[in-house]
Structure 1
């Protein structure tokens, strides 16, 4: 924000005639321009099609049309900044465009500056050489903290509302709203306050859930709710330990200590062994929004649109940081890179290159989680050191881990695991993945429900006996994956 003020102020003092500020937050934009106007001892006027010139002063009633406001600016002898709201549709009119181009030479010889404020950037080719574009960044943590404190101030001594905001929680709450506009953040804070009549740790998931609205508007990323806890993932003890070490690394305290934000994690493994489940659980454990990037949504039939979609997805993930960006089965999303030049004119290769460069150079705290089943389909560039903090291999669960998985799934079905011989089931389900264990329980439940009774250990055991696990049917592939990971990845359990 400070840099934007300095850059715009310098441009105005240097008599740049036409500035374009891209933002949907008109109020924040005009607050900044008001500060710049005061520091440079200039007046500030705003114009819109609905309200005309404000304050009107000598503008009069004839300034309600785009042509008339340009005439007025040209005739004015004031030292002033003229803010034109949502002026971009009128740039398509030939007479307006011509009058604006005529005005530019006048502005260069005066102490007047025109600033176009609009949520979209539309610049006709005729203006490209005379216009300077600025982007208003979304509110930073300092500004969001001020918004929250201003909202909570009337309630701090109230008996009706309980406010428990230690510094660590305050930082987490502010982090949860990064990527929202000031109005959106204020609405989220107000909703959390009204819903529970308190403000504490329990409000974090609901604040993060509110970001779902922001994601739905883009259509490229999917927002995944915080529904899975890490204790609902059986086994993977080494992975859980690694995650626990890095869970607090998204804080200011970690930056002061000298630690950078964690970059990301690549999880390779046998299908159905909990990679996707772990990705969801990590977001819930760290109280960070989870965004899933579906590479299929990136591709577009129009030339250049696919690359633009990837840049938009990256920009949105960074705007909401700290956040987690999840690419499920990444090898399928970026398959065909080697033949991209002859198959799709290099589109896949360019998108992949954009993504890799961003992963290497990103400065915003976006933790990338990638999952993969077929290691031979992974591009070598993705596995280079520096892309991810760590590569974990998730193997089939061992007997003790299978027992935990049975325990978890039986509890999730609202049954008491003590009424089942979990140890015997874990032993019988040798070479079963977590997904196959869940399916065996579901099949047993279907059979018992059809017979109007409760399902038992014997029902589950029968389903296990009927199932040929993937590790058996795809034995060679599973062994290849294990051999590859032996010296190239850390075991997750």
Structure 2
């Protein structure tokens, strides 16, 4: 049953049972009041609502009952009414500090006791918690944000009003995807986003991308995660054919409705391997290609000084990622943030790992995680267990054909004149042992010179010199490369090909293609 319908059914049972105190926990006050208005009219209930802007009014007739808009005045009137009227419900929507033991919360306790004696009910609609002594006098219910089914219904009903006025190209598949994208915002926020499409006089399939962008703009500065700006086509990745094929298969699943098969949306990928070979670039490329917002989670930045602060910040960051879904969440060098599990004397790292594992396993939000690591041995082993990430890929130094593709990408980006096939082949030969970042640096240096003297005036000797001046990690620290390569048999080759490796028991050797 959708969240809204389930909440309405529970509240109805509480009202009919005359529970003396009911709290509705929600950030959508208007939606909660609409639900209560429907119940009051359907069941002919006597319900009065108090707001600071309108005072006390009858929820069914909308008539003003009292001009006194103060909370204390409303509490006094409710107490008088409970003594003279049976089966009355009074709803309060603007109550501050009800989570603490104070004068206001104690007055609510007294009023709830009076309501219990007279068959009345007081109800509080708030996003804040309720003082324990007060909450134990009644029942609590949460009205969460609209789920995907409710969101789809809201979208269909909203756009149906404009069927005869504007061109609507959406079919069932587009409505499903729109609902998936807008899940995580309030109903009024979703309708505001849709209104921006309606004023354009058409709702096309291409505008599904605009829904994600508009949703992203709602959240502004987000707690715990950093928005990374990417544009379609900005970030191209050369090589890594196996990873790219795998991602092509995962993309449509991120916004499909998988509930009929009890499957969760794709959870993400862990990229390990040689530094500078495109792991971080891949995160940006995925967000760019999939036209999804990209957020970066820096685990080090959420670490706090005080007891429990780190865990609270980390939980908030993950909750924020859930709220902005569908999105790509990039965790760079994850081993630095989660290393030390089991050796941290304060236990903070162990608790963060536990939080992260629980979120990876249980969250159904459409957050695609791209985590990168240079040293997978520093990661907690439980993070590598099947079911956490969808898969783990090893990114190695590019081979000749991959280097050619990468060089061509940067030549097109930085230069305005073509390079002959013979020149390109020579650059591929000169770049043996280069990482992707080395190739970018070499071609960028040529680009600077071309900007200075003109593309046609850069001799090929300068091309050769730019590549010769690069000292790749494979030459400066070959032992580090070999150390990282010891982990290759634990992951799928991102290149899509199996390299020559010594056979080991349990080695994972998969070819994608």
TM-score by length of 2: 0.85
Residue by residue, what CA displacement relative to the aligned partner does 1:231-288 show, whole Å, maximum 9, x if unpaired? 8211111111112222222355654466542222111121121112222222344444
Instruction: Select 1:462's aligned residue among 461, 465, 471.
Output: 465
Instruction: Select 2:35's aligned residue among 22, 32, 36.
Output: 32
* Residues 430/54 of structure 1: CA separation in 2 closer, same or farther (3 Å cut): same
Instruction: Select 1:152's aligned residue among 148, 152, 159.
Output: 159
1:16: how far off?
3.0
* Residues 58/479 of structure 1: CA separation in 2 closer, same or farther (3 Å cut): closer
Q: Distance in 1 between matches of 2:450 and 2:290?
A: 39
Q: Distance in 1 between matches of 2:138 and 2:179?
A: 35
Q: How does 1:53-92 map to 2 (within 5 A)?
A: 53-55=56-58, 59-61=65-67, 63-76=68-81, 77-89=85-97
Instruction: Select 1:445's aligned residue among 444, 447, 454.
Output: 447
Residue 41 (structure 1) aligns with: 44
1:418: how far off?
4.6
Q: Does 1:96 align with 2:104?
A: yes
1:302: how far off?
3.2
Residue by residue, what CA displacement relative to the aligned partner does 1:208-245 show, whole Å, maximum 9, x if unpaired? 22233344343212233452549821111111111222
1:94: how far off?
4.4
Residue 107 (structure 1) aligns with: 115
Q: Does 1:191 align with 2:173?
A: no
Which sits farther off after the overlay, 382-391 or 208-217?
A: 208-217
1:104: how far off?
1.4
Residue by residue, what CA displacement relative to the aligned partner does 1:32-81 show, whole Å, maximum 9, x if unpaired? 222333454312322112221123868433x3222221122222214333
1:452: how far off?
5.4
* Residues 318/134 of structure 1: CA separation in 2 closer, same or farther (3 Å cut): farther
Q: Which ranges of structure 2 fall in alignment gaps of 5 or more residues? A: 496-513
Residue by residue, what CA displacement relative to the aligned partner does 1:150-191 show, whole Å, maximum 9, x if unpaired? 443354344xx5432133233222222221111221222222
Q: Distance in 1 between matches of 2:268 and 2:167?
A: 37
Q: CA RMSD in A?
A: 2.8
Q: Conserved in 2, the CA contact under 8 Å of 1:275 and 1:394?
A: yes
* Residues 451/175 of structure 1: CA separation in 2 closer, same or farther (3 Å cut): same
SS of residue in 2 equivalent to 1:340: coil
* Residues 64/156 of structure 1: CA separation in 2 closer, same or farther (3 Å cut): closer
1:375: how far off?
1.9
* Residues 172/303 of structure 1: CA separation in 2 closer, same or farther (3 Å cut): same
Q: Distance in 2 between matches of 1:230 and 1:266?
A: 22
Instruction: Select 1:480's aligned residue among 478, 483, 488.
Output: 483
Q: Which ranges of structure 1 fall in alignment gaps of 5 or more residues? A: none
Q: Does 1:265 align with 2:256?
A: no
* Residues 94/279 of structure 1: CA separation in 2 closer, same or farther (3 Å cut): closer
Residue by residue, what CA displacement relative to the aligned partner does 1:360-404 show, whole Å, maximum 9, x if unpaired? 233444332211111221121211122122110011111111111
Residue 148 (structure 2) aligns with: 141
* Residues 279/460 of structure 1: CA separation in 2 closer, same or farther (3 Å cut): same
Instruction: Select 2:343's aligned residue among 336, 339, 352.
Output: 339
* Residues 150/348 of structure 1: CA separation in 2 closer, same or farther (3 Å cut): same
1:103: how far off?
0.9
Q: Distance in 2 between matches of 1:253 and 1:91?
A: 38
Q: Distance in 1 between matches of 2:460 and 2:199?
A: 47
SS of residue in 1 equivalent to 2:487: helix
1:105: how far off?
0.9
Q: Conserved in 2, the CA contact under 8 Å of 1:248 and 1:254?
A: no
Q: How does 1:313-462 map to 2 (within 5 A)?
A: 313-341=317-345, 345-413=346-414, 415-418=416-419, 421-451=423-453, 455=458, 457-462=460-465
Q: Conserved in 2, the CA contact under 8 Å of 1:66 and 1:96?
A: no
The number of residues matched between the two structures is 484
* Residues 255/92 of structure 1: CA separation in 2 closer, same or farther (3 Å cut): closer
1:90: how far off?
7.0
1:350: how far off?
1.0
Instruction: Select 1:23's aligned residue among 23, 26, 36.
Output: 26
1:330: how far off?
0.5
Q: Conserved in 2, the CA contact under 8 Å of 1:141 and 1:174?
A: yes
Instruction: Select 1:170's aligned residue among 167, 175, 180.
Output: 175
Q: Conserved in 1, the CA contact under 8 Å of 2:7 and 2:143?
A: yes
Q: Distance in 1 between matches of 2:466 and 2:323?
A: 48
TM-score by length of 1: 0.88
Q: How does 1:196-275 map to 2 (within 5 A)?
A: 197-229=201-233, 232-252=236-256, 254-256=258-260, 259-275=263-279
* Residues 57/375 of structure 1: CA separation in 2 closer, same or farther (3 Å cut): closer
